Amino acid sequence: MSTDLGWACRPSHPLWFSADRHRASTLCQVEPVGRWFEAFVKRRNRNASASFQELEDKKELSEESEDEELQLEEFPMLKTLDPKDWKNQDHYAVLGLGHVRYKATQRQIKAAHKAMVLKHHPDKRKAAGEPIKEGDNDYFTCITKAYEMLSDPVKRRAFNSVDPTFDNSVPSKSEAKDNFFEVFSPVFERNSRWSNKKNVPKLGDMNSSFEDVDAFYSFWYNFDSWREFSYLDEEEKEKAECRDERRWIEKQNRATRAQRKKEEMNRIRTLVDNAYSCDPRIKKFKEEEKAKKEAEKKAKAEAKRKEQEAKEKQRQAELEAARLAKEKEEEEVRQQALLAKKEKDIQKKAIKKERQKLRNSCKTWNHFSDNEAERVKMMEEVEKLCDRLELASLQCLNETLTSSTKEVGKAALEKQIEEINEQIRKEKEEAEARMRQASKNAEKSTGGSGNGSKNWSEDDLQLLIKAVNLFPAGTNSRWEVIANYMNIHSSSGVKRTAKDVIGKAKSLQKLDPHQKDDINKKAFDKFKKEHGVVPQADNATPSERFEGPCTDFTPWTTEEQKLLEQALKTYPVNTPERWEKIAEAVPGRTKKDCMKRYKVVVSVYKFRYHLFVCVCDVTTTVVVRVSITRKLSGAPGWRSRLSVRLQPGHDLAVREFEPRIRFWADGSGPGACFRFCVSLSLCPSPVHALSLSVPKINKR
């Protein structure tokens, strides 16, 4: 079988050449071989329609045509070149390829070298009668060196990296302000020769898409350059005499190359940065992106506004429905309130009528007494009945008084008075029991055990009160300081801790008012025992007295005062039936009691105290310190201090001061006789007679 057909036959059985081969058909296996099959495989792998040989032939023909068209440029300085300085020469210009340079093919370089040899070989010139230098001193050595450098791909790349004709300049921003594409396009074009990657993207024009521009700058910001600077090595390692010297030369050369490579990459980065900052397309894309974001923002805001409007519309509808429902409910409540008010007014009128009837009935019987004192007391009891009895009870009592004799009416009245007094007594007992229970619970919560919570004498209690007032809230480590103060000044010898002091202070705050009264009374008795009674002056002015009915008044406790204050805050002035609700919030007190107490508290703040101190015959500077303490039984007190500095020649000093008052708990108003504890001290020591006038009350 002919090999020109691209096929070869081989026997499928070892007896293929038997005598019977012409008698029957023989099965054989064939495999493709030959240059035509090879060309077919190469075309298939290369996705080429033409044959491989045709492509090679076309390539060779194109190169031959280029060689035929190649025109060498004569280098005028060729004969003046120094063969010893061959490294600084332009190898392309020496071979006549200065106009082609890095684009020259190996065939062109070989052809150029051949032409230069035929023209400048020493033998040719010698035959022509030209002078020739001996050895390597002839300029023909430069042609040989140029061919050696350009025929070796590695050495040629090294020379191309430092091509003396390459323009390394980078356009500034001002140069490309008006003609960006004309300035930067050739710069990127000539720098693209250093790329390791093929198909370098072009700069484009104003019509380039965002994707193309983004791909262009992404490529150049991640530029992979093959440019290296080994050609500029100052030392040649081949000239080294030993291995150590060669290593040192290599180390120096690597450092120099790395530095130049770094400068080259900085140059490329500067080029790309300048182009990016001046590129009008970038500005256009940014403006488009900004406009797009603004449009999206406006669309989003519009959608949000519509959504808010829909929600607001729905909310307004819900509010309108709720308002109508509330108005309907309020109208119903108002109607019910009107009915209730009418009923209450009717009841109030009936109660008022029954109260007046009860007063008239008692007045008719002369309050069932012939004694003036008993009559006044009975009048008070009748008023108490009027305040506390309900309508049915008043009607029943009035019916009894009008339909019976004096003795029967008096018995019914006294029975009713006894029931009311018993009810008031029970309410007070319940309130006191609650206060005692609260005090016990407070003592238990403070964990009262150990030496700190036991054996608190009267002196220790007074010392604790003094320390608490001496070191107010806000003092650093306040309770530790108070405990240390007590341990220093206490005469009992019991060591108190901060925990003990805190527990006792809390228990004192939650004490029952009667227990507080006992403590204050014991402290005052002890003060009188130690200091004696202050002698009264003979010429003391009489105290002022406000005329008024004398009533058997029960003092207000601290707890009742707190309840009254809280009720005054809870029920403001515009509250209907305000004083009835306030009286209900204070157990054991009627509406009149609460109103009278409120008037007393308000009247206190309308007074100012004046203290007149007279120091006679002062011959030196004297400081008079006056301390006035007001203390009423069963009520908290206040203390005011005043310091007066007197100069020589002054015999009278008048100072006005207003004490700080939280509230008054005496229950008798400002017209009562107050007890003042006045203590005077002179600094320096007393030198002359001192006279003090009695404090008096003046209205503003």
User: 446-531 in CATH: which number?
Assistant: 1.10.10
Domains 70-161 and 446-531 share a fold: no
Q: What DSSP element (H or E) covers 221? A: helix 210-221
- pLDDT beyond 90 at 431: no
pTM of the model: 0.38
Considering the segment(s) 558-699 as one domain, its CATH architecture is Orthogonal Bundle (1.10)
- pLDDT beyond 90 at 118: no
- pLDDT beyond 90 at 126: no
Q: Which long-range contacts (CB under 8 A, 24 or more apart) does 159-164 make?
A: 159/91, 159/231, 160/102, 161/194, 161/227, 161/228, 161/229, 161/230, 161/231, 162/229, 162/231, 162/232, 163/101, 163/102, 164/90
Neighbours of 594 (CB within 10 A): 25
Topology (CATH level 3) of domain 70-161: Helix Hairpins (1.10.287)
* % helix, strand, coil for the chain, step of 5: 60, 10, 35
Interhelix angle 478-489/458-470, rounded to 10 degrees, is: 140
Q: At 644, is the pLDDT very low, low, confident or very high (cuts 50, 70, 90)?
A: very low
* Of 431, 436, 435, residue with least CA distance to 589: 431
What is the DSSP code string of 159-211? HHHT-TT-------TTTTSS-HHHHHHHHHHHHGGGBSSSSPPP---TT--HH
pLDDT of residue 514: 54
CA–CA distances in Å: residue 21 to residues 17, 27, 284? 6, 11, 85
Percent of the chain exceeding pLDDT 70 equals 70
pLDDT tens-place string over residues 150-161: 888 888 888 888
pLDDT tens-place string over residues 200-228: 888 888 888 889 899 999 999 998 888 88
pLDDT of residue 240: 67
pLDDT tens-place string over residues 659-674: 333 333 333 333 333 3
- pLDDT beyond 50 at 547: no
- Could you state, in order of their start, the residue ranges of all structural domains in the chain? 70-161, 180-278, 446-531, 558-699
